[in-house]
């Protein structure tokens, strides 16, 4: 399996030309944890191009998570590993794509009922979806592959944006991990068939115990007295209006304040006195990282349920579209 780090030098040089053209002399580099090991290699390439290079030591959880502090001290920022989301002429996105043999998808075809398929994937794998579509069509399927929400590639979903999965037919997810297909299964109330090109594993994801767990958390919050409304300062997670609405709504039942954070973690909340938190930052933290928090973390829609503004069913997943 070939990964795209091999094409880093070429892509970095292309971006370097653009930054030079705008008169830039210093560059900040931001990498997700899984790619931080390439920092020296990248710094070396850009230093040889004549730039002053600064490496971000901050985490980078997604396309929305841009290190604006680093941009304050540099002329441009290269954000590696995600597809473009924040529009700013000084931010250059350099996605990271994984190559795979698309014919392996044949292993998942027995799990698909009928002939209509909606194809979805995450940033690293979605670039090959047009080839997968062609392969499936050659095998007799009608395939829907479309852009939507916060993704930039056809079929690309994010942990906070599932629009390309909307439509008629069975949903086929290509990628690794459970979180994204689970989000889609909850969002559209449908089973999602999965194929992992790295391990060749196939499977099917349904909401299963997820909803039971969410309702158990809500029942616990129902009896509590105070809540903190989390507002993120990250450019692509800052939902100021939603946080304001949440505070107004929470007042009906709880003592509440807006709590402002950059990286949301249990440590940041430990000394605060609130009984539970309404998270308006990345929805994935509420759903996927809940176990690392000592106090319950809920979404805006879940607060609506607690305050009587929304029925408890159907369950609405937190999305940023
Ligand atoms: S909000 Fe969360 S899921 Fe959405 S792009 Fe940012 S890190 Fe990814």
Q: pLDDT tens digit string along 121-180?
A: 999 999 999 999 999 999 999 999 999 999 999 999 999 999 999 999 999 999 999 999
- Specify the ligand 1 atom closest to the Cα of 85: 5
- Predicted pLDDT of residue 208: 81
Looking at the chain, the whole-number percentage of residues with pLDDT higher than 90 is: 96
Nearest to 12 by CA among 42, 36, 32, 48: 42
How far is ligand 1, taken at its centre, from the CA of residue 61, in Å?
7
CA distance 193 to 205: 6
Q: Look at residues 73, 94, 115 and tell me which one is the last residue of a structural domain.
A: 94
- Judge if the beta carbon of residue 303 lies within 6 A of ligand 1: no
Is residue 233 domain-shared with residue 272, that is, in the same domain?
yes
How far is ligand 1, taken at its centre, from the CA of residue 85, in Å?
10
- Judge if the beta carbon of residue 65 lies within 6 A of ligand 1: yes
The length of the chain is 321
Strands (E), 33-166: 52-55, 76-80, 91-94, 116-121, 142-144
Is residue 164 domain-shared with residue 187, that is, in the same domain?
yes
Q: Collapse the DSSP code of 207 into the 3-class scheme (helix H, G, I; strand E, B; otherwise coil) and give the result.
A: coil
Q: pLDDT tens digit string along 209-222?
A: 899 999 999 999 99
- Judge if the beta carbon of residue 282 lies within 6 A of ligand 1: yes
Q: Quote the DSSP letter at residue 287.
A: H
Helix (H) or strand (E) holding 257: strand 255-261
The β-bridge partners of 226 are 255
Residue with CA closest to ligand 1 atom 8: 62
- Specify the ligand 1 atom closest to the Cα of 161: 4
* Residue 7 pLDDT grade (very low, low, confident, very high; cuts 50, 70, 90): confident
* Residue 1 pLDDT grade (very low, low, confident, very high; cuts 50, 70, 90): very low
pLDDT above 60: residue 275: yes
Is residue 231 domain-shared with residue 287, that is, in the same domain?
yes
Residue with CA closest to ligand 1 atom 7: 62
How far is ligand 1, taken at its centre, from the CA of residue 218, in Å?
23
Residue with CA closest to ligand 1 atom 1: 282
Long-range CB contact pairs, 244-250, < 8 A, 24+: 245/300, 246/278, 246/280, 246/300, 246/303, 249/303, 249/304, 249/307, 249/309, 250/278, 250/303, 250/307
Q: How many other CB atoms are found less than 10 A from the CB of residue 36?
A: 17
176 Rama class: left (phi>0) / alpha (psi -120 to 50) / beta: beta
Long-range CB contact pairs, 307-313, < 8 A, 24+: 307/249, 307/250, 307/252, 307/253, 308/252, 309/249, 312/215, 312/218
- Judge if the beta carbon of residue 66 lies within 6 A of ligand 1: no
- Predicted pLDDT of residue 5: 62
- Judge if the beta carbon of residue 284 lies within 6 A of ligand 1: yes
Is residue 263 domain-shared with residue 296, that is, in the same domain?
yes
| Residues of the domain holding 243 | 211-306
Residue with CA closest to ligand 1 atom 4: 160
Helix H segments across 22-122? 39-48, 68-73
CA distance 251 to 246: 9
Q: What is the mean pLDDT of residues 270-278?
A: 97
Contact 302, 218 (CB under 8 A): yes
Q: pLDDT tens digit string along 221-266?
A: 999 999 999 999 999 999 999 999 999 999 999 999 999 999 999 9
* Residue 18 pLDDT grade (very low, low, confident, very high; cuts 50, 70, 90): very high
Is residue 109 domain-shared with residue 133, that is, in the same domain?
yes
The CATH number assigned to the domain holding 219 equals 3.40.50.11860
- Predicted pLDDT of residue 100: 95
- Specify the ligand 1 atom closest to the Cα of 234: 6
Q: pLDDT tens digit string along 87-133?
A: 999 999 999 999 999 999 999 999 999 999 999 999 999 999 999 99
Our CA dihedral for 269, 259, 290, 283, rounded to 10 degrees, sits at: -150
The CATH number assigned to the domain holding 68 equals 3.40.50.11840
Residue with CA closest to ligand 1 atom 3: 159
Is residue 132 domain-shared with residue 190, that is, in the same domain?
yes
- Predicted pLDDT of residue 4: 58
Domains contained in the chain, number: 3
Q: Look at residues 162, 177, 205 and tell me which one is the last residue of a structural domain.
A: 205
Q: Look at residues 30, 63, 94 and tell me which one is the last residue of a structural domain.
A: 94
Helix H segments across 171-319? 179-188, 210-222, 240-250, 266-269, 283-288, 300-306
- Specify the ligand 1 atom closest to the Cα of 158: 3
The CATH number assigned to the domain holding 124 equals 3.40.50.11850
Is residue 67 domain-shared with residue 158, that is, in the same domain?
no
Q: What is the mean pLDDT of residues 16-23?
A: 97
pLDDT above 90: residue 273: yes
- Predicted pLDDT of residue 8: 85
12 inside domain: yes
pLDDT above 50: residue 3: no
pLDDT above 80: residue 280: yes
Is residue 58 domain-shared with residue 15, that is, in the same domain?
yes
- Judge if the beta carbon of residue 317 lies within 6 A of ligand 1: no
């Amino acid at each position: 399996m070939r990964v795209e780090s091999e094409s880093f030098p070429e892509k970095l040089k292309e971006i370097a030309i653009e930054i030079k053209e705008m008169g830039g002399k210093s560059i900040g580099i931001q990498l997700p944890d899984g790619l931080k090991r390439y920092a020296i290699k990248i710094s070396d390439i850009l230093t040889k191009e004549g730039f002053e290079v600064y490496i971000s030591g901050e985490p980078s959880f997604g396309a929305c998570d841009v290190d604006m502090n680093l941009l304050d001290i540099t002329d441009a920022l290269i954000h590696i590993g995600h597809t473009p989301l924040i529009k700013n002429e000084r931010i250059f996105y350099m996605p990271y794509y994984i190559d795979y043999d698309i014919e392996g998808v044949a292993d998942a075809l027995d799990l698909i009922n009928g002939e209509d398929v909606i194809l979805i994937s995450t940033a690293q794998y979605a670039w090959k979806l047009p080839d997968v579509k062609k392969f499936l069509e050659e095998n007799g399927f009608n395939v829907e592959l479309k852009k939507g929400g916060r993704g930039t590639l056809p079929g690309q979903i994010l942990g906070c944006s599932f629009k390309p999965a909307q439509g008629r037919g069975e949903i086929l997810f290509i990628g690794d991990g459970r979180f994204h297909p689970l989000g889609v299964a909850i969002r559209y109330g449908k089973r999602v068939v999965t194929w992992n090109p790295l391990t060749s594993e196939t499977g099917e994801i349904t909401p299963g115990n997820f909803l039971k767990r969410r309702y158990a958390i809500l029942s616990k919050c129902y009896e509590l007295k105070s809540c903190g409304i989390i507002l993120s300062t990250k450019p692509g997670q800052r939902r100021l209006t939603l946080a304001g609405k949440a505070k107004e709504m929470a007042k009906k039942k709880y003592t509440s304040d807006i709590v402002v954070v950059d990286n949301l973690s249990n440590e940041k909340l430990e000394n605060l006195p609130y009984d539970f938190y309404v998270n308006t930052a990345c929805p994935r933290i509420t759903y996927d990282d809940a176990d690392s928090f000592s106090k319950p973390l809920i979404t805006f829609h879940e607060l609506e349920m607690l305050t009587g503004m929304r029925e408890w069913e159907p369950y609405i997943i937190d999305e940023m579209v």
